[in-house]
Each structure stands twice: as structure tokens, then as C-alpha cells.
Structure 1
Amino acid sequence: MLNILVTGSNGQLGSEIRELINEIPSQAENDGELTSFCAPTRNLAENNEHYFFFTDKTTLDISDKEAVNKFIDMNKINIIINCAAYTAVDKAQTDEKNADAINHQAVKNLAQISKEKSIKLIHISTDYVFDGTNHKPYKEDNATAPKSIYGKTKLAGEKALQAINPKNSIIIRTSWVYSSFGANFVKTMLSLAKNRDELSVVYDQVGTPTYARDLAKTILEIVPKVKNENVEIYHYSNEGVLSWYDFAKEIMKMTKRECTIHPIESFKYPTPAPRPHFSILNKSKIKKDFDINIPFYKDSLDECLKVLGERR
């Protein structure tokens, strides 16, 4: 029996994992290794051999090591998928204490517990650990240099996990996450377009969107395959390259919104936290090590818009 803890389960990624667990029973006979990830209830998914425990900050404070230890012992957790994060990028600039508690100290707690109890740990990080000045896709071993408090606390969490080095643990960096759950760029654009004929969106920040559902599928697929002595870092986003302006244009095109998108430079849309101007991630390593296929961003956006009931 494997007991799997998913933290941050009400966020975009955690919600998508929960949704996938709900769907897997009907596919179980044909999904190979995914057969074991089945049958949910509200907070616990189970089949004959595997159980999922979905928690958020109200049910488990992962910055409280004693509470985490107690939860893990009581529920005999074997695997942790840490989706929890302080993701309010601008707010973090003046709330470093809380950002550090979740993005750094909590990760340190999970790493220490994972090492002590031989638990497999999958931790989610971000492209914000880079400064965004590259001219070719970032590889996992490229130098990090975060510009924002959010990026600095996420990098501190990565370094803590690497220093403690629990066996069978990985870090997955991702970028531009969106979903049918929670607040994100896609839903913001759709909401604004309902009441406006024109929108201005930055064109000088380039990257690749990540449909959280695709990342959730990948995590569930690779969990049984994670076997490493030292912490490994992987990059994941959808395929393709575009700016936020291009992304907004594609959203309007797919939904047939009569909303004109104007390109603007970042300095015309100042934010408390600086954004990376280049966030393209090289995904060769995760594709090679786990033999996975990554969808093109337009296909994934199309799927998300259909879920939202917005595809025209």
C-alpha cells in the first residue's frame, strides 16, 4: 500500500491532480502504471492498494514540522507531492516572512522528514529562480539569479531540499501556470474581455504557458519512475514559445471575443515585483529520463477553454 500526500490541494495544480484522480477509475484497465492512482472521496482517494490525502493550509500547516510529522506518521505517508506555495508574486515583496515560511522553511521541513522516513518527495518550483536574461531555453544546471522575493524564497526552498538530499526526490520547475481552477492569466483575460473592447498586454516577456492539468498528468505518470540517489531538477512547461501578448491574442481568437489586444512594453505596466523577460525552459531532460510527450500550448489552451465552457 502507498499513501500519497498532496499539499496545496486547493491550488491550480493540486486541484488538477484531484480532478484526475476522480477520472482514473474508468481508465484503470488501460493506463498501465496509472492503474494504482484511483477512486477518490472528498479528501482521500483510495483503491485496493493506494490512498491519496489532499490537504491545504487549513488542514495541514506544512511550515509546522511537528504537525507534518504527526500527520505523516498517523497516515503512514510514503510519497509527498508538494504543490503548496506562496504565489502572490507582488505581495511577497512586502511579505517576505510568510513567503519564506511556505516557499523555503516548509520545503526544508518536508525534505528533513522525507529523509528521516524514506519518503519520496516531488516538489514544484518556478522559472522565477532565473533572472530572465538568457537568449536560449534555460537548462536545469544554468545559473540561478532571482530578481523578486518570490523567486528568492523559491530558490531557497530548492537549495534546502538539495542540501538535505532525501533519496528519490525531485524538483520540477514550471512557468506561466493556468487552469480551469483558481486565478490565472487565461481567466483574467476572459473576465476583462467581457467588459472591455480593448486590452493592453506586455509583449517583451517571453515564455511558455503550462496547463496545470498537463503537469498533473505528468507527475502522476512519473511518480512510480522516480528513483534517484540525489535530488534531481527537471523543467516542465507546454511546448511552444510566445509572449503574454501572443497568449492573450490566442485566447481571444479561440473564444471569438471581439476584444482588441494592444502590445505594450513592460515599463508601461509596472509591478512591485520584477518579472523575467525570458522564461523559456528546456525540457529535454524530463522527456528523456521519463519518456514523456508534452502537448503544444495551443492544444492545451483549447482543452482548458472547453473545460471552462469558453471555446467558440
Structure 2
Amino acid sequence: MTRYLITGAAGMLGQDLQLALSGRDVTALSRAALDITDEAAVADAVAGHDVVINAAAYTKVDDAESHEDDAHAVNARGPEVLARATAATGAKLVHVSTDYVFDGNGTSPYAEDEPTAPIGAYGRTKAAGEAAVREIAPDSSYIVRAAWLYGAGGPNFAKTMIRLAGSHDTVQVVVDQLGQPTWTGDLARQIVAMLDADAPAGIYHGTNAGKGSWFDFTRAIFAEVGLDPERVLPTDSSAFVRPAPRPAYSVLGHDAWRRAGIEPMRDWREALHAAAEAGVLV
């Protein structure tokens, strides 16, 4: 029987990975339970497992601008340590990365083999983590890039917008950032499908299909939970100046799934409707 280890298991994706692997032999370790930068602790944790899924990450994008060393430890050093440990035991490694490894200046979906060009500290640290995994375990690792995640198991944009609707007559949301809202439930199941299919090692884009702006996403959220979408007003990024730059275009291509004989994830609007039906948004 395949034995799975999930790191960062208390996070939003980590919780959905546990659900997707329900009934299997799974060890789920939170960041508090396993410091992925601790070589000895990681070696002990990895021992006896066939698959390691790394969902641990430093995700405070703005804080990373002034604490890049802290972000680098978790996002770059941690995956390096995990890659060395899995390579030593022969285990497969799934490392979850991000759209922030790209500069966001594209106009068509980024291919999996597109050169990375991060524009902020968070993206730099995640790109460094990817590079370490590819160098150390090229034949036994998967890099799955996620983006615009929402789910039941943690704070996220969808829940924030619904909360704001309870205290504001209208909400202003940017129209000049495009991406792919992605349900962690779908992403978790896709990762499991990839492993079950024994897909080739490499880079995969773990996002729901289609594209939309944060404005589009918010209007869709409102509609799904019975709020008036007309309460969502358009604005642009100049109205929300933040420490870290955001990619303006975060639409990712999904050709690697098709090459592996796996259907890419469904359209984001279909996924959002299913998530709402499952009670994820409330």
C-alpha cells in the first residue's frame, strides 16, 4: 500500500489533500509538527513513505518583501531539504508552487516550460524552491503551480468578500488583474489523480480552467451566495497600492495534463458553483 506524507497539512490545501486521500495510509503534518528546513526532522518524517506532498509555504506575499530571508527558508530551503530526503529514499515528491514565478506581463496562457521571471520576493523564493526540486530530483518530482486559491479550510479572498458584503453596501474590486480562481478541493483531487495515473515527472499547472478578473470572481461569488452582483464595483490596481507587486496576468496553460492523458481541471465558474453547493463559501 502506498504511504503518503503531507507537509503543511493544516493549511487550506493540506486539509483538502487529506480529504482527497481519505481511506489511504496518510501521515499529515502541520508546519508546527514538521519544520521542513530541519534536515534531520525531514529525513525521519520521510522515511517509510512512498509519496511526499509539500503544501507548506510562506504565503504572506506583502510581508515577504521585508522578510525575504524568512520566506526563502520555507519556500526555497524547505523544498531543497525535502527533495534531498525523497531522492535518498526513492519517494516521489509533489511540490506546490505558484503563478508568482512569472512576471505577469503575458497576454496568452503561460506554458509549463515558460522561463520564470518573478517580480517580487515571494515569487523569487518560490522560483528558487522549484529550481532546487528540479535539480535534485528531476525524475521523481512534480511541481504543481497553483493560483488564486480558495477553500473551506482557511482565510481566502472569497470568504473576505462575503464578509465585507455584510458590512458594506458595495465593494470595489480590481478589473486589471486576470487569473484563474481555483478551488483547493479540485486541486487536491487533481494531484491525487496525477499520482494515481503515475504521470511523468515535471511541471503541471494546478488551476481551474478559464480566466477572469478579481472583479469577475467577486461578482460570481456574490451570485452564488444569493447577493446582488451589482454591489460589486470595478476599480483598478492603482486604488490598492501594496508592498508587493502583483502579476497583472496569471493565466496558466494546461498542456502537461493532456500530454499525461489527464483531463485538466474544470472551468473556474463551474468549480465555484460546486464549491458553493458544498458549503465552502459560508
With structure 1 as the length reference, what TM-score do the two structures score? 0.86
Contact 1:201 1:264 in 2 (8 A): yes
What corresponds to 1:268 in structure 2?
239
The correspondence for 2:149, drawn from 177, 201, 206, is 177
The runs of 5 or more residues in structure 2 that have no matched partner are none
Q: Distance in 2 between matches of 1:20 and 1:222?
A: 12
Post-superposition, which runs of at least 4 consecutive aligned residues in structure 1 deviate over 6 A?
none
The more displaced of 64-73 and 240-249 is 64-73
Q: Distance in 2 between matches of 1:310 and 1:57?
A: 25
- Which aligned pairs between 1:139-218 and structure 2 lie closer than 5 A? 139-218=111-190
- Aligned partner letter, 1:148: G
Q: CA deviation at 1:310?
A: 5.6
Q: CA deviation at 1:5?
A: 0.2
Is 1:129 matched with 2:116?
A: no
- Give secondary structure in 2 for the equivalent of 1:90: helix
Q: CA deviation at 1:52?
A: 0.3
What corresponds to 1:66 in structure 2?
40
State the aligned residue count.
281
- Give secondary structure in 2 for the equivalent of 1:61: coil
Contact 1:135 1:278 in 2 (8 A): yes
Q: Distance in 2 between matches of 1:165 and 1:21?
A: 24
- Give secondary structure in 2 for the equivalent of 1:132: coil
Q: CA deviation at 1:285?
A: 1.5
- Aligned partner letter, 1:21: L
Q: Distance in 2 between matches of 1:243 and 1:199?
A: 14
- Give secondary structure in 1 for the equivalent of 2:116: coil
% same residue: 36
- The 1:159/1:302 distance shift into structure 2, 3 A limit, reads same
Q: Distance in 1 between matches of 2:36 and 2:281?
A: 36
Q: CA deviation at 1:71?
A: 2.1
Q: Deviations over 1:37-90 (max 9, x none)?
A: x2xxxxxxx4xxxx10000111111110111112223xx111101111111111
- Give secondary structure in 2 for the equivalent of 1:195: coil
What corresponds to 1:14 in structure 2?
14
The correspondence for 1:304, drawn from 265, 269, 275, is 275
What corresponds to 1:4 in structure 2?
4
Higher CA-based Rg: 1
Q: Distance in 1 between matches of 2:216 and 2:255?
A: 24
Contact 1:7 1:56 in 2 (8 A): yes
Q: Distance in 2 between matches of 1:100 and 1:57?
A: 15
- The 1:310/1:163 distance shift into structure 2, 3 A limit, reads closer
Q: Deviations over 1:227-285 (max 9, x none)?
A: 54xx5111121111110011111111222214611111101111111000000000122
- The 1:254/1:171 distance shift into structure 2, 3 A limit, reads same
- Aligned partner letter, 1:270: V
What corresponds to 1:288 in structure 2?
259
Q: CA deviation at 1:96?
A: 1.1
Q: Distance in 1 between matches of 2:10 and 2:40?
A: 22
- Give secondary structure in 2 for the equivalent of 1:81: strand
Q: Distance in 2 between matches of 1:301 and 1:118?
A: 37
- Give secondary structure in 1 for the equivalent of 2:61: coil
- Aligned partner letter, 1:237: T
The runs of 5 or more residues in structure 1 that have no matched partner are 23-37, 39-45
- The 1:255/1:171 distance shift into structure 2, 3 A limit, reads same
With structure 2 as the length reference, what TM-score do the two structures score? 0.95
RMSD: 1.6
